[in-house]
Chains A and B, each alone.
Chain A
Amino acid sequence: MDATLSPKLSPPQGPQGGSVATLAALVRSQYPLMLLALASVAAAYWSIVHGMVLDWMNDENSSHGFIVPVVSAYLIWQRRERLMAQPAKPSAMGLAIVAMGAAMLLLGWLATEYFTMRFSLLVVLTGCVVYWAGWGVLGVLAGPMAYLTLMIPVPAVLYDALAFPLKLFVTKVSVVVLKALGILVVREGNIMAFPNITLEVVNACSGLRSLTSLLAVGLAYVMLFVRPFKEKLAIVALIFPIALAANMVRVIGTGILAQHFGEAAAEGFFHEFAGLVIFLTSIAMLMASHRILSRWFR
Chain B
Amino acid sequence: MKSMKFLTATALSGALGMVGAVGLPAAAAQAEDLTLCWAAWDPANALVELSKQFEEESGHTMNFEFVPWPNFADRMLNELNSGGQLCDLLIGDSQWIGGGAEAGHYVKLNDFFDAEGISMDDFAPATVYAYSTWPKGSENFYALPAMGDANGWFYRKDWFEREDIRAAYLAETGEELREPQTQRELLQIAQFFQEREIDGQTRYGAAIFTERGSEGITMGATGALYAWGFQYESEPGSYQMDGVVNSAAAVEALEFYKELYETATPPGYTDSYMGESLDAFKSGQVAMAMNWFAFFPGLYADPDIGGDTIDFFVNPPQEVEASTLGGQGISVVAYSEKQDAALEYIKWFAQPDIQAQWWELGGYSAHNSVLNDPGFVDSQPFAGDFLEAMANVQDFWQEPTYAELLLAMQRRLHDYVVADQGTAQEALDLLVEDWTEVFEDEGKL
The reply to whether chain A is a binding partner of chain B is no
Interface positions of A (Cβ within 8 A of B): none
Interface positions of B (Cβ within 8 A of A): none
